[in-house]
A and B are shown apart, each in its own frame.
Chain A
Amino acid sequence: MPEPLLEVRDLKVSFHTEDGLVRAVSGVSFTLSEGETLGIVGESGCGKSVTMMSVMRLIIDPNARFEGEVLYKGVDLMKLSQDEMREIRGRGIAMIFQDPMTSLTPVYRVGWQIAEQIRAHERVSRQAAHSRAIELLSAVGIPHAKERVNDYPHQFSGGMRQRVMIAMAVSCNPDLLIADEPTTALDVTIQAQILNLIRKLKDDFGSAVVLITHDMGVVADIADRVAVMYAGRIVEQGEKRELFYDAQHPYTWGLLGSIARLDRPKPRRLTTIRGMPPSLINLPPGCAFGDRCPHRFDRCRELPELTDKLGNGHLDACHLGPEQKKDLREVTIHPELTPGPP
């Protein structure tokens, strides 16, 4: 088996705060091969962004503590100096952020900002970097790129700014593109365009992509594999088909149940996951989802391991057996379709 592009091993991130130790990420492991697209799904505050920000070593909070390994092409990023890390940021691994309205420095022309990144990593002239910026801008679908390259960020709409961000991210041909909720702040009509753009660039540039989102629809659209996170841990991980058609974790069922689907009879109302995610300070022992899980039983007091119970690379962290789950799943996702008390 070839060496994976990115391998995260037992990553733990915690923050010291006045209220106590916040365990934002408590033991996350996953691998990513070249050219692959991984979707990381979960509610706000479940540690998706912190995980990927830690991979980039972009968390500079002095109260943050990191454990575990992040192997990028076999090199542990956690052990690199800031200078070595800088070589990788933007060149090996690039990142797109959630809010394009605030992600560009307001006082510089967009072309200048793209050229700045190119010139931070390659010894090219100002002119060459500028023309590369124009090419990139037209590649991401900005009309009249030649003129717009000299515009300031505030002269672009949100969707266009996200295109600029994407152009910047791919400017140095990164192996890995991390997209942190790239469509959350955009209009629905623009969301699809941006996702298509990411998919197209992924094919053109051959980058692997990690897509962080809370939208199962986005994941279904673009990912090869999916990891579902809850309270700082991965609770289920597998191929996209597996995850959507044979979901194993009750939390995933909840996420799937809360999508309005057009290919099924219309339910009276969408299923919701009752309750709120637990506080990450003093997380109780046992399954973190236990308090919200409709199928909780005694063993849930122990922390479930993320293991491959089906024997096909589809991991989940739930004590229920695969046979039990088959019965419970439909009831949880589509209570309308099954007889019995709702």
Chain B
Amino acid sequence: MLKIYTAFCLLIVVMLSLANFQGFVLTSLLTGEARADKTANHYHK
């Protein structure tokens, strides 16, 4: 059990490093960010 937990902790540390390095932010999931293709013609210049 301890080995599994140790591996889990290491995974968490690696995931945090990757997330921070790549600019992933957890709270962006909570603010309703949605990715969708739009055309820039929709906005008024």
- Same assembly: no
Footprint of A on B, CB under 8 Å? none
